Amino acid sequence: MEKLTIEIHMDYCQQDELSAEEAQLVQAAAKATSNAYAKYSGFRVGAALRLNDGRIVIGANQENAAYPSGLCAERTAIFGAQANYPEQPIKCLAIAAADNNGLRAKPVSPCGACRQVILEIEDRYQQPIEILLCGTDGVYRLKSVRDLLPLSFVEADMR
């Protein structure tokens, strides 16, 4: 038996260490948390993505009493962007979360379903999507969703 090691690579930076484009996206994600409909959990998530043409699209989680019927912030932003600008790859995605005390200090990470959706967008356009996981204490910056989903499954794996 051979033991294998999987490594992920990310930066942990403060808000003032982000580029102007990244900081703008982080602010848009934080602001998008106020658009969440989180009546049941009180956990509001906002996402903001930048398309290759520079356009920003936001999303926010939407809950429903029938829990599986809701949708995460990341997917609302991605699906909205794909429905309206299908020719535009996604360059960067920022995610922020808030609760009743305001924006969360620690960055939150996308759920497995959102990771798979982001992965398939990367695969579709053959372009990595920079991921910014935002908290008031700092931001995790990843060059690709593959660092969050190292043993990934895409269309090519079905052939």
Q: Which residue has the tokens 């602001």?
A: 31
Q: Judge whether 130 counts as a catalytic residue.
A: no
CA 9 – CA 32 distance, rounded (Å): 27
CA 2 – CA 24 distance, rounded (Å): 45
CA 154 – CA 159 distance, rounded (Å): 10
In order of 51, 53, 55, 83, 121, the CA distances from 87 in angstroms are 10, 10, 12, 10, 12
> Residue 6, Cβ neighbours under 10 Å: how many?
7
Handedness of CA 5, 74, 38, 44 (dihedral sign): positive
CA 69 – CA 51 distance, rounded (Å): 27
Identify the active-site residue in 2, 17, 21, 74.
74
Q: Which residues are catalytic?
A: 74
